[in-house]
A and B are shown apart, each in its own frame.
Chain A
């Protein structure tokens, strides 16, 4: 059982009481009496510490505060207690624990205003960032030897090669879902053979690239933002600048190039895996043999579907990489900001990819690639 601090109040001369503190007066035992000491309403003449067994700064503070609040004197303090009381009394302060919080009526309009201004300045900042990337491309074209090949290869591996497993599995499962669900609906019209058209065209034209872009945004876009953001916090980015290395050249360019180069490959791979998933499930639910399904794909999927996917892919890669790198470079302050910026990078990338995908869909239909 823990031993708690305790106190008694004995009446003395003229109605004033003497508070006698007892037991250990430490951070572990003070919890029992702190509130009660604050609630003592009688006039206190003295705080007696002669029966205190142990004391630390928390105990010394509590005794001193009680004496201060009642303008009482402290008696019976041991040598150690007196020294502790001296040092904590010198350390008295009235600093706020948290920064002042403005009232709701001020905070809400302020937050709205910041949001609106943020949109404007954010758009400008993104344009500025895009500009610096384009300038960096220009520099690169002038001095190709300055290009950081090693860093690009490393990013190609991270963005592309190590994503093969998860993107393959995801696409395979999506292929299964489209084919199976499509078959259920099409069977009602006796048109289940069109499951092949459905799976193949959707995979190459839309889903392969779109799902890959979402996966790359989640895997690599977030990684870009978090890596660059942490490097900003640890002043690595500043160090680069002072050495004369442009962070855009060293950090941003390899990542953007890697995403732009890898997205078409991953998108095509994803479409192929989705078709294999569709063929796999058709083998069982539609009695279309696996290889027949694959052969029919050649006939029913026009080549321009492949082009639609391959044209969209690098654009999506660019958006994902720009969002990740831009948010990473915006990190300032503390680790919480890294988290916020990483979230923003992924959300913005996915949102922009879906908006652009809709625009591409209308565009390609209009130009006759139906």
Chain B
């Protein structure tokens, strides 16, 4: 039986016969050039440029209010920039209203917002099913439920969480449920806004390992905003530093440490930075990546 026959066998509804996008084959899933964002008089970004490589975990750091979240919102199209170009998975995001294009990109990324941003009238499992139903209406209810269950488990939540409403969950659990929803479509690109903030150290370490494992197995590209120095040392391939309305440096942590920028030096060589670095060093010696947190 050929593929064609399978599709005409009555098992797939008509409306699902549409095209699906090819996996992204370029080297840079996110390319930002000359971005400018401002709110009234206050300029947040000025001539900001950033390129993300395929398959890497890019950590984005910067002081509070330096525009990390605004950068993420611009990239995912929630904030219309004043100027500049943004390309995501080969599509120009600043192009006005191209609904096909937008749907195409949206079926291939997952976004985790700071507070989880779960739909409050749906249970956790139903939350995970929302993007699946939206983009793949041909999937069976039974399969949807199975997918929702294992995604929730993969995100490290206990089994009975699936039928709970967001208001019944703690902040950390909401975050994990948000991750389960972000991963619902097996995306190529994952945006995480401070995923480990507010988690206990054990939970945060598990979250890091999960992100790393997903990157390894699914070849994910991860855009990760964080203040967690352990996360930066542990899983980030490269780190981008936002300061003075620009990305002032992108590179591995040793590369950044070699730069003579006061903010970067203070960030990584402050007491917390040293502690995270020492923990990393110990973990490397023991050849056990989990020990860095213990």
Contact = CB atoms under 8 A, between A and B. Distances in A.
A298 interface: no
Nearest to A37: B143
Contact of B19 (A2, A23, A97): A2
A347 to B, nearest CB: 21
Sorting the interface of chain B by its residue count into under 10, 10 to 19, 20 to 34 or 35 or more gives 35 or more
A128 interface: no
A61 interface: yes
A41 interface: no
A96 B123 CA distance: 10
B101 interface: no
Contacts, number: 143
A32 B163 contact: no
A346 B136 CA distance: 41
B150 A28 contact: no
A4 to B, nearest CB: 5
Nearest to B156: A91
A95 B160 contact: yes
A300 to B, nearest CB: 55
B218 interface: yes
Interface in B123-181: 123, 125-126, 129, 132, 135-136, 138-140, 142-143, 145-154, 159-167
B123 A98 contact: yes
Interface in B220-235: none
A65 B162 CA distance: 19
B153 A333 contact: no
A88 B150 contact: yes
A103 interface: no
B209 to A, nearest CB: 11
A7 B169 CA distance: 41
B165 A334 contact: yes
Given A31-B16, A31-B138, A57-B186, A99 B163 contact: yes
B185 A27 contact: yes
Interface in B259-289: none
B152 A93 contact: yes
Contacts of A58: 143, 147, 186
Contact of A93 (B7, B143, B153): B153
Interface string B13-26: 00011111001000
B154 A4 contact: no
Contacts of B164: 99
Contact of A2 (B20, B129, B132, B186): B20
A174 B30 CA distance: 59
B64 interface: no
Nearest to A54: B23
A97 B139 contact: no
Nearest to A23: B3
Nearest to A34: B143
Contact of B217 (A34, A83, A98, A99): A83
Contact of B218 (A23, A29, A57): A57
B162 A34 contact: no
B120 interface: yes
A365 interface: no
Contact of A30 (B3, B7, B139, B149): B139
Nearest to A332: B167
A95 B150 contact: no
A155 B160 CA distance: 46
Nearest to A39: B11
Given A6-B5, A98-B163, 11 more contacts: A28-B20, A32-B7, A57-B218, A61-B146, A87-B213, A91-B150, A92-B149, A92-B153, A97-B125, A334-B120, A334-B121
Q: Considering the complex of A and B, which 8 residue pairs feature the smallest CB-CB distances, nearest first?
A: A31-B138, A91-B153, A334-B120, A95-B162, A56-B186, A96-B163, A91-B150, A97-B125
